[in-house]
Amino acid sequence: MELRATQVNAQAIDQTLATVPFLRRLSPRQRVRLAKQATTRRYPAGAMIVREGDTSMTVYVVLSGAVQIRGERPRGADGVGAEGVRAGRGASFGAMGVIHDRPRGETVVALEPTECVLLAKWDFTALLLAEPRVALDLMLQATGAAG
pLDDT at position 143, please?
A: 64
36 in any annotated domain: yes
Q: How many domains does the chain have?
A: 1
> Could you tell me the CA-to-CA distances from 114 to 20, 57, 117, 128 in Å, in that order?
17, 20, 10, 27
Percentage of residues of the chain with pLDDT beyond 90: 33
Higher pLDDT, 137 or 106: 106
Domain limits at 68?
2-142
User: Are β-strands 2-4 and 85-87 bridged in parallel, bridged antiparallel, or unpaired?
Assistant: unpaired
82 in any annotated domain: yes
23 in any annotated domain: yes
101 in any annotated domain: yes
Instruction: Give the pLDDT mean for 32-46.
Output: 90
- Altogether, the residues listed in the chain come to a count of 147
Backbone angles phi, psi at 40, to 5 degrees: -125, 155
CATH number at residue 55: 2.60.120.10
Residues 6 or more apart from 32 whose CB is under 8 A from it? 10, 14
Residues 6 or more apart from 107 whose CB is under 8 A from it? 48, 50, 51, 52, 69, 70, 71
pLDDT at 145 over 70: no
Q: What is the pLDDT of residues 69-109, one digit of tens each?
A: 997 654 444 444 456 899 999 999 988 888 788 888 899 99
Higher pLDDT, 144 or 24: 24
Q: What is the pLDDT of residues 41-67, one digit of tens each?
A: 999 999 999 999 998 889 999 999 999
pLDDT at 31 over 80: yes
pLDDT at 12 over 60: yes
85 in any annotated domain: yes
| pTM of the predicted protein model | 0.79
Percentage of residues of the chain with pLDDT beyond 70: 82
147 in any annotated domain: no
